[in-house]
Amino acid sequence: MLAFVGFSLKRAWQGFWRNSLMSLAATASMVLMLVLLSGLLILLSGLDATLKYVESEVEVVAYLKDSATAQDVTLLTDDLRAMPQVESVTYVSKDQALKNFQERQPEVASLVQALPSNPLPASFEISLRDPSDYIDVATYLRAQSAVDSVQDIKQTVDQMITVINVLRTGGIAVLAIVGLTVLFIIVNTIRLAVVARAEEIEIMRLVGASDAFIRWPFVLEGALVGLFGAVITTCLLLLVQAPLTSLMAGFFNVLPIQASAIVGQNVALIVFATGIGIGVLGSYLSVRSYLSR
Partner 1 sequence: MSLASSGLTSDSSGQPAVASRRPFSAVSGPAESAPEATPAVVLRGVTKTYPNGKSALRDVSLTIPTGDFVFLVGPSGAGKSTLIRLLIREELATRGKVLLDGRDLARLNRRDVPNIRRRIGTVFQDFKLLPNKSVRDNVAFALEVTGTPRDRIGPAVDRVLRVVGLAAQADQRPSELSGGEQQRTAIARALVHDPNLFIADEPTGNLDPLISWEIIQLLLRINEMGVTVLMATHNAEVVTALRKRVVGLDDGRVVRDETGAAYHRED
Residues of this chain that bind partner 1 (CB under 8 A): 1-4, 6-7, 199-200, 202-211, 213-214
What is the length of the chain? 293
Residue 209: CB atoms within 10 A of its CB come to 14
Write the DSSP symbol of residue 67: T
Q: Is 116 helix (H, G, I), strand (E, B) or coil?
A: coil
- DSSP for 190-208, please give it: HHHHHHHTHHHHHHHHHTT
CA distance 236 to 244: 12
> From its phi and psi, is residue 123 left (phi > 0), alpha (psi between -120 and 50) or beta?
beta
CA-based nearest residue to 123, from 146, 140, 106, 145: 146
Q: Is 147 helix (H, G, I), strand (E, B) or coil?
A: strand
Residue 217 near residue 11 (C-beta atoms within 8 A): yes
CA-based nearest residue to 129, from 85, 89, 90: 85
Write the DSSP symbol of residue 129: S
CA-based nearest residue to 217, from 4, 45, 2, 8: 8
Residue 124 near residue 62 (C-beta atoms within 8 A): yes
CA distance 5 to 266: 29
Residue 122 near residue 97 (C-beta atoms within 8 A): yes
CA-based nearest residue to 102, from 89, 120, 116: 120
Decide whether 135 or 203 has the Cβ nearer to partner 1.
203
